[in-house]
Amino acid sequence: MKLRKSNKEKYRINNVLNLVKFVSYDGAWPNLCSGTLVISIDDVQFKFEQDNLCSGGNSGPWTISNWPKGIPNNKKLREAIIKLVNNNIQWGCCGGCI
């Protein structure tokens, strides 16, 4: 059975979501949000340079302000990356505004 193009694309994106992995983050107080984040998607590493994360404070999630080139502009994929970030980097005030 041949899949329609839209089904192939959905399958590919769902597969990619399972392949998103946290590699490292080197930010620390007093500049918690100024670290470099590295993730991998299907064993290809992507580096988020400094100042790409925005702190939600002690009670809020991280958001990403700038996406590196090469990461598709796909809502599900980007949501998975943000979830990965929030599961691996402790929430907190970055300290830069203190």
Asked if residue 4 has pLDDT above 50, the reply is no
28: DSSP letter: B
pLDDT reading at 3 higher than 50: no
Q: What is the pLDDT of residue 5?
A: 47
Per-residue b/e over 20-51, b at no fewer than 16 CB within 10 Å? beeeebebeeeebbbbebebebeeeebebeeb
Mind listing the pLDDT tens digit for each residue in 22-76?
999 998 877 787 889 999 988 889 999 877 888 777 777 888 988 988 888 888 8
User: What's residue 18's pLDDT?
Assistant: 76
Q: Is 7 exposed, middle or buried (0-12, 13-18, 19+ CB in 10 A)?
A: exposed
Domain ranges for the chain, please list them: 5-88
Reply yes or no on whether the pLDDT at 11 is more than 70: no
* 95 or 87, higher pLDDT: 87
Q: Are 47 and 38 in contact (CB under 8 A)?
A: yes
Lowest mean pLDDT among 35-39, 70-74, 81-85, 91-95: 91-95
